[in-house]
A and B are shown apart, each in its own frame.
Chain A
Amino acid sequence: MEQVKKTPAVLVLLAWLFVGVPWGWGVAQLWKNAQKLFQSPPAVTAPASQK
């Protein structure tokens, strides 16, 4: 009977880490950038005549 050698789970995990870590780093960088959208807008200064 043929001996089935299963891929070790740790190998699968390492492979996903190899692609996942740089990808996660990229997503984190982008998310930091995207947060600028949610920062409060600059206060609108009233025209001098209305002060």
Chain B
Amino acid sequence: MGAFSFLDRSHSVAPSGFNRWLVPTAALSIHLAIGQVYAFSVFKKPLNYLIQVGSAGGGLKALPGMDSPNPGDWKFTALGWIFSLAIVFLGLSAAVFGKWLERVGPRMAMFASAVCFAGGFFVSSVGIQVHQLWLIYLGYGVLGGTGLGLGYISPVSTLIKWFPDRPGMATGMAIMGFGGGALIGAPLATRLMAAFRTEHDLGVEKTFLVMGAIYFVAMMFGVFTVRIPREGWKPEGWTAPAKPKALVTTNNVEVNKAFTTPQFWLLWVVLCMNVTAGIGILEQAAPMIQELFKGRITAVAAGGFVALLSLFNMGGRFVWSSVSDYLGRKNTYYAFFVLGCMLYYLAPRTGASGLNSVPLFVATTAVILSMYGGGFATVPAYLRDLFGTMEVGAIHGRLLTAWSAAGVLGPVLVNYIREYEKNQGVPLTDAYSTVLYVMVGLLIVGLIANSLVRPVNPKYWYNAETAPTSTTTLASATD
């Protein structure tokens, strides 16, 4: 590999005296970049008007309603596939490349993620220039989505190894960055498009080029900063508890074995239910608050409400995962499900026809969204407790398929129930209640799955003597 040898696992072992607080910044630089995917919607309208503006000129200062009148322009529905493809490839690449990541180390995986993610922007920019939608599907969707998956899981096991005393907090910090990525990506894209806009050009392709370059540089900071702990390293003054908590193992389970354990699938259900229920609120937050408090909440205020929920979604990732270091992972998920059931039941009752309290409704939904984010951020530490650190990144990658499933299940459930209720002549406010009650049902399923989680049967434990040829050295697992 020559020039790229610095990417090898062996070249990224930390020297003595290395400050472990540099590692979260490496993880954050990756997650803050790839979290941009949640801001992709800011490109949809400009992409929808490329030909129209090109032919009509600067007359279109503010783009009118959805779907450009020009038949040559891409339709909104077709553009929607870009984001969906990216999320599908996030799940696929996280599941497929997890084992490779554990073998080559975080630095190589972060580099591959940066090349794919930034490359996705560049290919898409060409696609915009030549007006070929398939190039954007291939660029941002397939290539960028692969970068998303690699980047999402790349720092997980490294952080867990650096912070054996606070694994929940460490992974929560990185995953909070993913939630925060859209906060940077959306205003950055809006400002760049405004700067590049001319009479006959909305500036989207130049924005893609610049964003690709910015994100590549930011992610390379992570590549150069990340280090793995040397063999036998532990935090100064810290000793592993003599008697670990009930679910916490000191053994390791290889990813293919973990995949066959009931614990993996129980956690799959736990994550899927928690995410689906969160999407139940996210999908309908803006219209719901306007309907529940008719005449009191304007569309602009509803937009502010959605922004506030994003802040709680992001903050919950750090707060709940840090709390889980003290409460224990299982208890934290109990809190998500029990508290969640109560709050989902309460939310529709805070409306004008019930308690009539906007602050109570906002507070209820904000806590719900904090637990949605918290569910994402706490799961890597839960996996580490059950399966050990050896291949936790790869196992996490496979578990993310639960997210992909929830990404389909959540919106389908919400839209189907709402449509059904509307056709039955049910008032819109009652239709929202039905959706939230169904979400309570899903949370109960998650609660049951969580209660069934037990320590992994020793027959699944990794044994260096009997294992064929492990892809990962056990040395890193004993760090």
Report if A30-B307 is in contact (Cβ < 8 Å); known contacts: A22-B184, A41-B296. Answer: yes
Decide yes or no whether A42 CB sits under 8 A from chain B.
Answer: yes
A34 and B304 contact, Cβ closer than 8 Å, known pairs A6-B19, A42-B298:
yes
User: Which A residues are closer than 8 A to B by beta carbons?
Assistant: 2, 4-7, 9, 11-12, 15-16, 18-19, 22-23, 25-27, 29-31, 33-39, 41-42, 44
Q: Are the CB atoms of A4 and B16 closer together than 8 Å?
A: yes
In the bound complex, CA of A33 to CA of B306 (Å): 9
CB contacts under 8 Å to A, within B289-338, are: 295-298, 300-305, 307-308, 310-311
- Other contacts beyond A15-B225, A39-B300: 20, CB < 8 A: A4-B16, A5-B16, A9-B19, A11-B19, A12-B22, A18-B221, A25-B184, A25-B187, A27-B180, A29-B183, A30-B183, A30-B310, A31-B311, A34-B305, A34-B308, A36-B301, A41-B296, A41-B298, A41-B301, A44-B295
B25 interfacial contact with A, CB 8 Å: yes
Q: Are B180 and A6 in contact (CB under 8 A)?
A: no
A7 touches B22 (CB 8 A): yes
Q: A19 to B25, Cβ gap below 8 A? A: yes
The number of chain B residues with a CB under 8 A from chain A is: 34
Which applies to chain B's interface (DSSP): helix, strand, loop or mixed?
helix
B22 touches A15 (CB 8 A): yes
Closest to A2 in B: B16
Contacts of B157 in A (CB 8 A): none
**A-chain residues with CB within 8 Å of residue B22 when the two chains form the complex:** 7, 11-12, 15
Instruction: Say yes or no: A26-B183 contact (C-beta < 8 A), given A33-B304, A37-B308, A41-B301.
Output: yes
A15 to chain B, nearest CB (A): 4
Contact of A22 among B16, B21, B32, B307 (CB under 8 A): B32
User: B183 and A27: CB pair below 8 A?
Assistant: yes
Asked if B15 contacts A5 (CB within 8 A), the reply is yes
**Which residues of B from 186 to 219 have beta carbons under 8 Å from A?**
186-187
B362 within 8 A of A: yes
Chain B positions 205-254 with a Cβ under 8 Å from a chain A Cβ: 221, 225
Q: Is the CB of B297 within 8 A of A41?
A: yes
Number of A-B contacts (CB under 8 A): 91
Is B18 interfacial (CB-CB < 8 Å)?
Answer: yes
B65 in contact (CB, < 8 A): no
Contacts from B to A (Cβ < 8 Å)? 15-19, 21-22, 25, 28-29, 32, 177, 180, 183-184, 186-187, 221, 225, 295-298, 300-305, 307-308, 310-311, 362
Determine if B187 and A26 form an interchain contact, defined as CB atoms under 8 angstroms apart.
yes
Q: A30-B310, A30-B311, A37-B301 are in contact. Are A15 and B25 (CB under 8 A)?
A: yes
Indicate which residue in B180, B221, B300, B311 contacts A36 across the interface (CB closer than 8 Å).
B300
* A-B residue pairs, 5 tightest by C-beta: A26-B183, A36-B304, A37-B304, A7-B19, A26-B184
B183 engages A38 (CB within 8 Å): no
CB<8 Å pairs between A and B, sample of 22: A2-B16, A4-B17, A5-B17, A6-B19, A7-B18, A11-B19, A18-B221, A19-B25, A19-B177, A22-B184, A26-B187, A27-B311, A29-B183, A29-B186, A29-B187, A30-B311, A33-B307, A34-B311, A36-B300, A36-B307, A39-B300, A44-B295
Interface centre among B183, B187, B303, B311 (most CB of A within 10 A): B183
Contacts of B221 in A (CB 8 A): 15, 18
Kindly state the separation between the CA atoms of A47 and B335 in the bound complex, as whole angstroms. 48
Whether the pair A12, B301 counts as a contact (CB closer than 8 A) is no
A2 CA / B17 CA spacing, docked (Å): 11
Q: Separation in Å of the A5 CB from the closest CB of chain B?
A: 5
C-alpha spacing A29/B182, complex, angstroms: 11
* Contacting pair A35 B304 (CB below 8 A): yes
Q: Residue of A at shortest CB range from B27?
A: A19
Q: Which residues of B sit under 8 angstroms from A34, Cβ to Cβ?
A: 304-305, 307-308, 311
CB of B414, distance to nearest CB on chain A (Å): 22
